[in-house]
Amino acid sequence: MRNIAVCFLCLITIGSNSQTLKEVESARVKLPNGWSLTPVGKSLPLGDLPLNIAVSKSKKYLAVTNNGQSTQTIQLIDVKNEKELHHVVIPKSWYGLKFSNDEKIIYASGGNDNMIRLYAIEADTLRLKDSILMGKKWPVKISPAGIEVDDDNQLLYVVTKENNTLYTYDLITKKVKDS
């Protein structure tokens, strides 16, 4: 009797695993080089070349900057409900993306426009609030990349990919404090 019960449990386990395998196989994506990927977990549709993901302090929001050659966007995502709340089209961007500690502002790199754009988060939507100009637009080579915020001291730190500089901005005066 014990052997029959063990065999029955094995069949149930194998049956449930084959169901899982079928689900995995149906999600398999074949790549142009012949390789394939089988995603684990859930996924959300993102834009062209999602280059950076920022997580808010409370982990309520995710922000994704899409920096490909098509329409560039920032997506605001509700983590708990796993859905996009809002997205905005942005003229240019590159990598830099950071939430303020109070989750009311997203700082985003303006790429070769040499600026940082500040988007307010209001009622789960993004609205361009302000921008900080770092210098003249391209061909002046600055291009902000990494961003860090010191909310306590109202400072914004920006590293650049073109002139390899660390800029420190006073968020109150909106002027360069150091570079």
Averaged pLDDT for residues 3-28 = 51
CATH number of 50-178: 2.130.10.10
Query: Model's pTM, two decimal places?
Result: 0.78
pLDDT in tens, 18-34: 446 666 567 788 888 99
pLDDT above 80 for 10: no
pLDDT above 70 for 105: yes
Tokens 């808010």 belong to: 56
Q: Is 178 exposed, middle or buried (0-12, 13-18, 19+ CB in 10 A)?
A: exposed
Give the tokens for residue 5.
């019960």
Averaged pLDDT for residues 97-106 = 97
pLDDT above 70 for 40: yes
- pLDDT computed for residue 9 by the predictor: 37
- pLDDT computed for residue 4 by the predictor: 46
- pLDDT computed for residue 5 by the predictor: 42
Taking the domains of the chain in order of start, what are their residue ranges? 2-37, 50-178
Averaged pLDDT for residues 68-87 = 95
pLDDT in tens, 113-161: 999 999 999 999 999 999 999 989 889 999 999 999 999 999 999 999 9
- pLDDT computed for residue 41 by the predictor: 76
- pLDDT computed for residue 175 by the predictor: 87
pLDDT above 90 for 52: yes
Averaged pLDDT for residues 5-15 = 40
Transcribe 90-142 into DSSP letters: -S---S-EEE-TTSSEEEEE-GGG-EEEEEEEETTEEEEEEEEE-SSPTTS--
